[in-house]
Amino acid sequence: MLPRLEAQRELASINAMSAAFGGMKTFDRARYIGRLERMAKGGAAIARPTPATLAAMGVGVVVVPAEGAANG
């Protein structure tokens, strides 16, 4: 096996053992498990586009105030 792939596989094994047997802090474990779940579902979570991102793609954005909002 290629050295880089072998190292990646070994690190993944170490992380899995740490998560399973309490070697990780709670926050780190939750983040690690969340990343694995996203990967298992086919990739990263889809980020909502911002008006700036849409404008960069040439899509016009009009922000409409919510009903009942105070008129400053």
Q: Show the DSSP H helices in 21-59 as ranges.
A: 26-40, 51-56
Once rounded to an integer, what is the mean pLDDT over residues 6-19?
A: 88
* Count of CA atoms in the C-beta half-sphere (13 A) of 14: 6
| Tokens describing residue 48 | 């909502």
* Structure confidence at residue 70 (pLDDT): 63
Q: How far is CA 41 from CA 37, 44, 55, in A?
A: 6, 8, 30
Residue type, 8: Q
Q: At what angle do helices 26-40 and 3-20 cross, to 10 degrees?
A: 120
Q: Where are the domains of the chain?
A: 3-56
* Structure confidence at residue 58 (pLDDT): 92
The model's pLDDT over 16-66, given as tens digits with 9 standing for 90+, comes to: 999 999 888 999 999 888 888 888 887 666 678 888 889 899 999 888 888
